[in-house]
Chains A and B, each alone.
Chain A
């Protein structure tokens, strides 16, 4: 369960202001954040995921207050409870697909790799259709395959929230539908909450709820 109350945020020195009076996202819910460019979709996603700290207000995920957590604890929370999928996939070119999927385990001591980790990886790779590409490098994959790898990486830690920023932005319509469908299925399979920032209105019907962020943002005079 994600709960935001009276959240305000602005970038230092900038005119942009985001004010969210109240937002509740139920566990397992699939939510799309839409709005024109600069309306604050990515900022809101970053606040929800603990990447940005709001000026005021409360941000809770499953009862854990992110707004007041220290940087270290927010980082630890993020790596264990949030999975990220990016528009540009953001795979490390010099690591194999397998190593990319296991990247969260390389970056922190908060996660311990066990036999179960390898089993999870194998299962994810199988269900996302990249099981035969684990030893390859990202440059040898198609765009759709890269995004599948990114989805696997986001789900490796069993996150409570899967945050995706324009995950289909670089894909052709057919691949975009496939990837979103996969994202939905995997989120359901893992019992996670899905929050997706998107411009693609053709895909909105797949979501449980669509939130127009523009109504919460404004630009003030400098």
Chain B
């Protein structure tokens, strides 16, 4: 029986105290280990998504908020920029402009009003069904579809923004035309519609009964001229786009009145990017951001916080090492007679110290294995955690 076996037999016999020691040590290691791994995954994913998004245009203000909102579909205040910005960028001939309308939610999930270019940019394709083809169509991120048990042919309602405001727009019934394939990104968590559908939800576009027809309900008409018809609030607005009413949906106002949360800009080349950045650098109401740069700034902050935790961990590790030392000394006292018996019988010099060192090594190795296992489990859950962030 080698020293290793003797040490193992000792630890196995006193399994409860061994387990306690292993768990205590593992817990000391697991937090910083998990934090490191999670931050690494978080950083990689954040940077990957930021890198795949060349430029973002939005209102001047919080840079980090604009980037995170656009990348991860944070719902919030609508506007900021408008369809006019999208048109202006498209007309510049320097870039592809993808509108991002991020104000609303559908059954608790972000409602993203965008164009088909977004799906090309992210390389998104449907697992079943098709991408939105007309007003009122929606394609679901995989996780949303799984959570709501929805698929092509089903429908879902957008969320009412204010329950007590009877003048606000009613929820719009969306027709699910498809479900996106798994991406492991925020795209799994969103409901995608055409930006024009988002404007219906916003109330800037709408469809209603034809009041220009000669047989229109006269009780809703306030005034009729050659150029316009004024109606009262009793006019029925459609809250679902159907084959019968789709032609009635229209928008009042100009492009500058059509709100957009942000615009993803894909410059045709580096020179175009430089020109656009210069152009927006002069704007007092708009800003053009490089998501990678903003995310790197954010990660620098995270890493600074991490370094603080690392320093904390060093102190905790030192305390743990001191406790281990104390346990070793107390254990040696507790086992004094056992070790003395070994010496009397004739064990080789240093064997008792070697025995205890081996026991300690086994405990530390088991703790590290346990900590590694827990950290790996955390790593497996990292995508979900990152998604929550």
Q: Chain A interface (Cβ within 8 Å of chain B)? A: 51, 71-72, 75-76, 78-79, 84, 86, 88, 90, 92-95, 99, 102-104, 106-110, 137
Contact = CB atoms under 8 A, between A and B. Distances in A.
Contacts of A109: 348
Nearest to B12: A94
A106 B6 CA distance: 9
Contacts of A79: 345-346
Contacts of B348: 75, 107-109
Contacts of B349: 71-72, 75
B344 A94 contact: no
B346 A76 contact: yes
Contacts of B164: none
Interface stretch (B275-283, B335-343, B363-371): B335-343
B9 interface: yes
Q: Which 10 A-B pairs have the closest CB atoms?
A: A79-B346, A94-B13, A107-B347, A90-B341, A106-B1, A78-B346, A94-B10, A75-B346, A94-B9, A104-B345
B346 A110 contact: yes
A88 B337 CA distance: 10
Contacts of B1: 99, 102, 106
Contacts of A71: 349
Nearest to A113: B1
B298 interface: no
Given A88-B337, A94-B14, A104 B346 contact: yes
B338 A92 contact: yes
Interface string B264-296: 000000000000000000000000000000000
Nearest to A92: B338
9 contacts: A84-B341, A93-B13, A94-B12, A99-B1, A104-B345, A106-B1, A107-B348, A107-B351, A108-B347
Contacts of B14: 94
Nearest to B337: A90
Contact of A90 (B9, B10, B338, B347): B338
Nearest to B340: A90
A99 B8 CA distance: 14
Contacts of A99: 1, 9
A108 B341 contact: no
A79 B337 CA distance: 18
A111 B171 CA distance: 88
B344 A107 contact: no
Nearest to A154: B345
A84 B345 contact: yes
A37 B337 CA distance: 20
Contacts of B342: 103, 107
A81 B347 CA distance: 14
A109 B349 CA distance: 12
A74 B12 CA distance: 33
A98 B138 CA distance: 75
A94 B12 CA distance: 8
B54 to A, nearest CB: 66
Contacts of B341: 84, 86, 90, 92
Interface in B345-381: 345-349, 351
B326 to A, nearest CB: 22
A51 B337 contact: no
Contact of A95 (B9, B347, B351): B9
B183 to A, nearest CB: 54
Given A75-B349, A76-B346, A94-B10, 4 more contacts: A79-B345, A84-B341, A94-B14, A107-B345
A59 to B, nearest CB: 16
